Structure 1
Amino acid sequence: MKQITTILLLLLFLSSCKNDKKQKTKNTKDIKQNEFAIIIHGGAGTILKKNMTPEKEKAYQQKLEEAIKAGYSILKKGGSSTKAVEASIHIMENSPLFNAGKGAVFTNAETNEMDASIMEGKTLNAGAVAGVKTVKNPISAAIQVMNNSNHVLLSGIGADNFAKEKGLDIMDPSYFYTEKRFKSLQRIKNKEKTQLDHDEKSAFYDTDIKDSKFGTVGCVALDKKGNITAGTSTGGMTNKRWNRIGDSPIIGAGTYANNATCGVSSTGWGEYFIRGVVAHDIAAQMEYKNVSLKEATNDVIQNKLTNLGGTGGIIALDKNGNMSFEFNTAGMYRASMNDKGELIVKIYKE
């Protein structure tokens, strides 16, 4: 009898220790890390230091710093996360360094077709545009769709006309021309022609897609009121055909935000991010499995996306200001700032 009592007491003690450990883990996860915070990305892919000149590296670092500081300034003054996201993405859309806005890549038809999306975690309201050709800042068009229409996603000429009606900056298509992007298209076209001449097989629009740089830009911000906003903007894939649309304007794939969990912006091979509903999957794991942001992002990118055959990465920010930069490529242009003003800018995989 005495032995049974001893065993029961031991079991109760072990059970208590286990519960205490769980409680401590949960409490640690729920601690407020930052009152407000902001993170950005400028695309992921085969970004290697050996291929980067010091001048080019510095240019990217300076532009990432400029972009994140624009959004941070708004947050510090008590502004909304949506305004911060828009401001940061504007800087990157206006730079030819990134595949968004001014730096958008060319389609097979030698045009520029851009996509963007935005989502607010407080209301789950969202807006997106796809295939716009004249909007200087597609992220602003996405915000207009969210705030001033009954829709979530507009595309093509309709989206361009909507943006014009709302008074956004409309540019002649020639504004989006950059020599670097045009030459990239010509190299891929020449490669396709060579392949067709040799084996008469139909070439995919990017034969080196697994070794490509996905220059999509994105931002996630948490403001002082506890509201999370996520936004993404892109020019898509070089040499894309048939009005192809990737994950960037797809809510739940390229962009997702929910105050109860986190905000996510994606960059990579869009078809796989759509199939994996990557951005929403991260938030869903946090909600249903009660795991941390880091656990969710690691599982979705390093396990689920990788096993599908997809490449790319995400930036994510949870309701407590925890940050995650997860990618399965050689590098990702990225930066972060917390409520203490600490700035981190990185390019390569550590």
Structure 2
Amino acid sequence: MRKSLLAILGLAMTFTMPALAHDAPSKPDWSFAIHGGAGVLQRDRMTPEKQAEYRTALQAALDAGSKVLREGGTSIDAVTAAITILEDDPKFNAGRGAVFTWEGINELDASIMDGNGRKAGAIAGVHVVRHPILLAKAVMQDGRHVLLSGKGAEEFAMDRDLEIVPPEFFATEERREQLERLKAKNLSALDVEFKYGTVGAVARDSAGHLAAGTSTGGMTGKRWGRIGDSPLIGAGTYADDASCAVSATGSGEYFIRVAVAHSICERVKAARRMTLAGETQDVPLTTEVLQGIVDGVIAEVGELGGDGGVIVVSPSGEPVFSMNTPGMYRGRATANGLNEVAIFADE
């Protein structure tokens, strides 16, 4: 009876699901993607030299994470390897080079999630931890809490011997000038930055485990302890081996309201399951189906008035991007040979 049922299921899938059966991509041994913020990134606003600088920086982070995965490392280690590089690069709004709050300080948020068991850690409002993503990882590994903030998070970092730096370590003159222009002319954060400030990475390792991480300095001139989506599990970061890993960048309030990262993963999980002859079966997920799901969630953000983008990797197929902005600093690589970085939406 069992063999007959399996034969019927196989026959049904052959005739009713040709696209899934024949068009599914070969599963890469590992997949990896990064982002460095989305926003009004247009060619006429960036010199060729500036574009080259960003592409080189993105490639360095992409290579760091890819090396971990290529050598058999974990998805979590790949994510942190890439994000720590981006946190140290003042071209990006995370760690050193973070934007200033209204009060003229750098206030850092980060989160990370392991799809293997859905373990997660996050921190918000820290000022002296060199690598916020490593603090988020330490919170996850400790396991007692998911989100720590402010002085308490910094005390936790010191207890874990994470690198502590003076607050001025994060400050750059360019970011200070952005805050001064915002205050002097009553501008919005986008008027002075042209992009949302977040970096992130998602990975699938050779063992099939997924991970996602996100780190940010927030938005220029933020006030009243404002926290966006980046340190919120389910909004800016989410990973589940049964569905996907997501890192987001954009207008955080809208990404929170749509629960972007979790919404994408839940829709992927639904797309990967189907019922035949009374039994639930896993089915392959094509890159085209994944792209459609991701684009749909970003469209919902746009309908509410929000802007931004995401990077996503699933248990099968290549990593994908989606954005409703003119550009997003991004890169992706797989064991199948894909290796690319891009800035503008039409690339």
Normalised to the residue count of structure 1, the TM-score between the two structures is: 0.88
Give the aligned partner of residue 222 of structure 1.
204
Does 2:318 match 1:322? yes
Cross-structure match for 1:262: 244
Of 74, 79, 87, 1:80 maps to 74
Q: In structure 2, what is the equivalent of residue 34 of structure 1?
A: 28
Task: Give 1:126's aligned residue.
Answer: 120
**Higher mean Cα deviation, 288-297 or 140-149?**
288-297
Pick one of 164, 175, 196 that aligns with 2:169. Answer: 175
The aligned amino acid for 1:273 is F
Give the corresponding residue for 2:267.
285
Q: Deviations over 1:142-195 (max 9, x none)?
A: 000000140000001111111111011111001011000010000000112xxx
Query: What residue is the counterpart of 1:311 in the other structure?
Result: 307
> What 5-or-longer segments of structure 2 have no aligned partner?
1-10, 273-284
Matches within 5 A, 1:156-235: 156-192=150-186, 206=188, 208=190, 212-235=194-217
Paired residue type of 1:23: M
Name the CA distance, whole Å, in 1 between partners of 2:214 and 2:50: 23
SS at match of 2:261: helix
- Specify the code of the residue in structure 2 equivalent to 1:246: G
The within-5 A match list for 1:237-276 is 237-276=219-258
Task: Determine the C-alpha separation between the residues in 2 that align with 1:210 and 1:164.
Answer: 34
Aligned-residue identity in percent:
46
Contact 2:307 2:325 in 1 (8 A): yes
1:334 is aligned with what amino acid?
R
- Asked if structure 2 preserves the Cα contact closer than 8 Å seen for 1:35 and 1:320, the reply is no
Contact 1:89 1:217 in 2 (8 A): yes
| 1:247-286: CA deviation from partner (whole Å, max 9, x where unpaired) | 0000000000111111000000000000000001011111
**2:189 and 2:219 in contact (8 A); partners too:** no
Counterpart in the other structure of 1:46: 40
Distance 1:52 1:80, change over 3 A: same
Contact 1:249 1:255 in 2 (8 A): yes
Q: Distance in 2 between matches of 1:298 and 1:29?
A: 20
Match of 1:6 in 2: none
Is 1:300 the equivalent of 2:294? Answer: no
1:347 corresponds to: 343
Q: How many angstroms apart in 1 are the aligned matches of 2:309 and 2:79?
A: 18
Whether the 8 Å contact between 1:293 and 1:322 is mirrored in structure 2 is no
Q: Which moved more, 1:241-250 or 1:24-33?
A: 24-33
CA distance in structure 1 between the partners assigned to 2:15 and 2:310 by the alignment: 30
Is the aligned partner of 1:337 residue 2:319?
no
Contact residue 135 and residue 162 of structure 2 kept, 8 A: yes
Displacement after TM superposition at 1:295 (Å): 1.6
Extract unaligned runs of 5+ from structure 1: 1-16, 193-204
Work out the CA distance in 2 between the residues paired with 1:56 and 1:263: 30
Number of corresponding residues: 321
| 3-state DSSP of counterpart to 1:284 | helix
Q: Which has the larger radius of gyration?
A: 1
Change (3 A) 1:326 1:28: farther
Alignment of 1:74-113 (within 5 A): 74-113=68-107
